Every structure is written in structure tokens, then in C-alpha cells.
Amino acid sequence: MRRHGAAKIIVLHLGVIGLLFLAQFFLPAYHQSNAIRIMVLATYAVGYNVLMGYTGLLSLGHAMFFAAGLYGAGLTIYYLDFTPLQGVGFGILSACALSFVFGLLALRARGIAFLIVTMMFAQALFLTTLYFNEITLGDQGFVLSEKLRTMTIGGAVVKFSDPVVKYNFALMVFSACLLLTLVLARSPVGRVLVAIRENEARTRMLGYDTERYKLLSLVISGTISGVSGAAYALLFAYIGSTFATIQYSIFPLLWVLLGGVGTTLGPLVGTALMFYLIDISSDYTSSYLLVVGAVLLVLVLWFPKGILGTLRERWLSWLP
């Protein structure tokens, strides 16, 4: 029975990845561009979900990890002549290192204090991007030219400005992070994280070093968020302080809450739904945030645990 359930889960996730791959051959150019952005941002939400959904730690500072990946990739490509993939690699390492150091400091706090500490650190990073305006260009930001986003791989010229390359790179990044979280959620480590979320004191009584597991969760979460930021810099070419603001810490929280906290596919569903909700409502009114807020309120009332979270609770108990 357990093996049958595992097979359904694997088929579901591979099926979603397969549908995303096939979609590029049928989607109009506009929606294909939207799908690229959704996959990159959904990767960010996947990272956030590891910390909040599985470990139960609420953060308002994840923009610092996204920005670490964004600036780590963008600055090295722009100023140090790194190749696109080298820049992405450096951005990921930057987010990983930042999340580790941040975790050592911030995890001393508990509950609401942790939430406030994450927000304060993120704000400090945002102000840092403004302070070093001569390098980062602050709110104005800077753009990576097509030449900087072109490299040779095995004798073939790869342009990350090409729509086909952008789509498949975004899909590869999202798929890798999605499958990583699926493996994590079903692993012994993932079960310990869920135990910490449900009752940290009891988990500690069972002999688990909860602080070490929370640090691991934060590092994984921050690194995946950095992967998203580095991919965003490479695929969309713009790097600016806007991406380090608190708004970009609130976005992944909303995406995860909307799609389903603690579900592997919830971040994708929430990101896609909110992206198109904003996109469509902004065509009709400049007060589109009121429309978005009203729709989100209705969805929360009907789906209190998010769309996939509520579906799992009521009908599909096998959903991870």
C-alpha cells in the first residue's frame, strides 16, 4: 500500500514536470514568458516552504537570500567577467553562506522574536544595497547585456536571452528544487523537521538536536531561495534593490499560504494563481491590489490550509 502511494506521488510530480516541458510548444510567446517567471519565482516559494511548511519557522526576511543569489550572480557576471553559470554558482554559494551565518545568529530567537530578527536582517541587507550605490546602482539597478549572458558549452553557443534556453533553464532549476524537496519531505530528516513543527519540545525529548535540524532547514531554504535569485538575474537580466525589500519577503509567504503550506506542489500553484490574478486584475483597474486582496480572502475562507493543503485534508490524503 505504501509502495502504491509512493508510485502515485512520483508519477504526479514527474507528470507536472512533463506538462511544463510540453507547454513550451503550445503556449503563446506572452504566456511562455509568464511561465518562465512563474517557475523561477515558484522555486523561491519552494525554498520558503522548506522553512515554514515543514519546520514551522515563519520568516519575513527571505528576500535577503533571494537578493544574495541575485547580486552574487549579477555582480560577478557584470564586474568580474564570470561566465553565466559561474555567476549562478557564486550566487548560490553566497546565499548558502549567508543562510548558514544568519542561522547561527537568528535561531537563538524563538517565536515572534525570530520573525522580527529575520525582518531586521533583511532590512539591513536592503540598506546595504542602497549604501553601496556606486556598485549596485541602488533602486535604479543595472542590466546584464546579451553578451554577458552568452557562453560556449561544448563548442555550442548558448544565449540565456533566447526564449527556448530561458524556458528550459527555468524548468530545470524548478524541477531540481521541487524533486529535492520531495525527497527531503519523505526522508527521515524531513520527518524530524515536521516533528519539530508539531512539537519541538517532544522532539528534543526523543533525543534529536533540534537546533541542528532547524539550522539545516534554514540553510536548505535559504540556498534554494538563492538559486531562484541567481536564476532570475541570469534569465531576466535586471538586478536592483527592489528585490531586497520586505515586499519580496512577503510574496513567498503569500504564495505558500495560497498553494498549501507543507505541500510540495503548493508553491507552484500559489505562485501561478497569484501571478495571473495580479496580471489580469491590473488590466482593469489601477487598484488591482484591492481585487487581489478580496480574492485571496475568499480563497482563504474556502481553503483555510491553502488549495492543495485543503484538498489533501479533505480528499487526497496521499499528497505530500
**277 residue type, one letter:** L
**Can you give the pLDDT at residue 1?**
41
pLDDT below 70 — which residues of the chain? 1-5
Specify if 35 maps to a domain. yes
CA distance 56 to 1: 29
CA distance 156 to 19: 27
C-alpha distances in Å from residue 269, one per residue of 25, 35, 179:
21, 12, 16
Specify if 54 maps to a domain. yes
**Can you give the pLDDT at residue 255?**
94
Specify if 303 maps to a domain. no
Specify if 164 maps to a domain. yes
CA distance 272 to 253: 14
User: Structural domain of residue 78, as residue ranges?
Assistant: 8-245
Pick left, alpha or beta for residue 83 (phi over 0 → left; psi -120 to 50 → alpha; otherwise beta): beta
**Can you give the pLDDT at residue 295?**
82
Specify if 146 maps to a domain. yes
**How many CB atoms are closer than 10 A to CB 295?**
15
**Can you give the pLDDT at residue 303?**
87
Specify if 300 maps to a domain. no
The tally of domains found in the chain comes to 1
CA distance 202 to 40: 37
Contacts 24+ apart (CB under 8 A), 181-184: 181/46, 181/49, 181/50, 181/224, 181/264, 182/9, 182/13, 182/264, 182/320, 184/50, 184/54, 184/220
Q: Which residue has the cell 499528497?
A: 319
Let me know: does 246 contact 124? Beta carbons within 8 Å.
Answer: no
Q: What is the pTM of this model?
A: 0.95
User: 3-state class of 111 per DSSP?
Assistant: coil
Count Cβ atoms within 10 A of the Cβ of residue 1 and give its class: 0-12 exposed, 13-18 middle, 19 or more buried: exposed
Specify if 28 maps to a domain. yes
Specify if 67 maps to a domain. yes
**Can you give the pLDDT at residue 316?**
79
CA distance 54 to 70: 25
- Note the helical H segments in 80-111: 84-106
Q: Which residue has the cell 560577478?
A: 76
CA distance 197 to 38: 28
Let me know: does 214 contact 99? Beta carbons within 8 Å.
Answer: no
Q: Which residue has the cell 519565482?
A: 41
Residue 239 pairs in a beta bridge with: 142
